[in-house]
Amino acid sequence: MRCPVCGGDCLQDAGSVLTTLPEIFTPCDRCTITLLDKRRAPSPAYTPAPPCQCRRRFLDDVFASCYQIFAEEGIITGTEPLSAIATPVVNPGFVMNTPPFLPTQSLVFLSPYPNQKTAERIVSEVPEVQGVVKTGKTVPGITGGHLASHTLLAGCDIQANIFPTSSGDLVVYKELSRLHLEFPRPVNPKIRAVERAIRRENPMLFIDACCGAGTLGLAAARTGTPEIIFNDVYGPAVFWTVVNLMVNQDALHLDEVLLHTILTDLPAVSNDPLLVAEGLGEQQHITIYQGNFDRLPAAIPEVSRSLSALDIFEKDQRQACMTALDRWRSAGGGKAFIP
């Protein structure tokens, strides 16, 4: 699969990603480690170690190299704490017990500070950095009816996250400038909630009505639920759900993934449900729509014995959750829960 952001080979099927774990970030015997205090500025005299002959380098040294470029370009004064300049996102992301030794092209650097030149210097001079994203004030996606995204300044910003489920690991890719960040945890409470609800209700149809990059619907598909529907109002979310269905196609035993809409033509927002793609397997049928979640029930023929997860954005607001559930039920959507 070609990477839809950079055209390179950063996108791989789930099996290929999973075989690289966990050794991908494990040091060789010759790798060196210097722990830096991330609450302080690194000493101007400190020279980060170059990559080891195994082409890995300790996270702190990669970060210190980026810090030096920031300082040389006048983006920071050089007195800021090391940890204050950016959020490092490793690719692939999975639960690690020790800090990573990064191979080439395995870190996306998210920061509110860089300009174009600094970003290009970092990508060309720090081999471990795969991409530099300038972050805006708002989390990417749709919040309160407004579209927001960060800006990819240099390199590529796709990242794979590994999510353990009861039926095996899922690989979920996303574009960090256009979808919100998630950090893998040893136990993912939302995936657990979906698996518990499916065990309890044994639905014929599971609907991931606000699917984002598709994690919960994919976890539901791994339980063997015969019919799965994904939906999101936001184009980039639907785009990556389709990619992630293809990435996990073998684990889901799908014979093919059919596209009904050209992925690059997806609108940023679609209110009426647009049929985007289908996954076809002997035991399972998967459909992906783009649209407003409360218009979805009218578009799907059979919602009896269905169970829907409404993974809405403003979940910490109890009122928003109640409103979403009400909207879903009054649209004829049937049984639903907030994971």
Nearer to Zn ion, 54 or 263 (CB): 54
What type of residue sits at position 133?
V
Site for Zn ion in 141-170 (CB under 5 A): 156
**Can you spell out the DSSP letters for 38-89?**
TTSPPPTT--PPPPPTTS-EEHHHHHHHHHHHHHHTTSS-S-S-GGGS-EEE
6 near Zn ion, judged by CB under 5 A: yes
Nearest distance, CB of residue 32 and Zn ion, angstroms? 8
> CB of 88: closest distance to Zn ion in angstroms?
18
Q: Name the minimum Å distance from CB 184 to Zn ion.
A: 20
Nearer to Zn ion, 96 or 322 (CB): 96
H/E segment holding residue 323: helix 318-330
Q: Is residue 125 within 8 Å of residue 86, measured between CB atoms?
A: no
- Cα separation, 257 vs 192, whole angstroms: 26
Rounded to whole angstroms, how far apart are CA atoms 154 and 283? 43
Contacts of Zn ion in 37-66 (CB under 5 A) = 52, 54, 56
The C-alpha atoms of residue 71 and residue 122 are separated, in whole angstroms, by 12
Q: Is 3 in the site for Zn ion (CB under 5 A)?
A: yes
CB of 155 to Zn ion, least distance (A): 8
User: For residues 308 and 209, is the Cβ–Cβ distance under 8 A?
Assistant: yes
Amino acid making up residue 226: P
Least gap, CB of 1 to Zn ion (angstroms): 10
22 or 168: whose CB is closer to Zn ion?
22
Q: Assess contact for 164 and 247: CB atoms under 8 A.
A: no
Helix (H, G, I), strand (E, B) or coil at 209: coil
Length of the chain: 339
Using the minimum distance from each CB to Zn ion, give the nearer residue, 86 or 156. Answer: 156
Q: Could you say whether residue 5 binds Zn ion (CB under 5 A)?
A: yes
Q: Which residue, 3 or 320, has its beta carbon nearer to Zn ion? A: 3
Query: Given the rule CB under 5 A, which of 28-36, 61-69, 197-205, 241-249 is the region that contacts Zn ion?
Result: 28-36
Identify which of residues 56 and 121 has a Cβ nearer to Zn ion in the complex: 56
Interface with Zn ion (CB under 5 A), residue total: 12
Sign of the dihedral defined by the CA atoms of residues 35, 48, 42, 64, in that order:
negative
Compare residues 6 and 21 and give the one whose CB is closer to Zn ion. Answer: 6
Integer Cα distance of 181 and 8 in angstroms? 22
Q: Does 31 bind Zn ion (CB under 5 A)?
A: yes
User: Which of 23-31, 159-167, 179-187, 236-244 is the region at the interface with Zn ion (rule: CB under 5 A)?
Assistant: 23-31
Shortest separation between residue 2's beta carbon and Zn ion, angstroms = 9
Angle at 156 between CA 151 and CA 160, to 5 degrees: 105
Q: Site residues (CB under 5 A) for Zn ion?
A: 3, 5-6, 8, 10, 28, 30-31, 52, 54, 56, 156
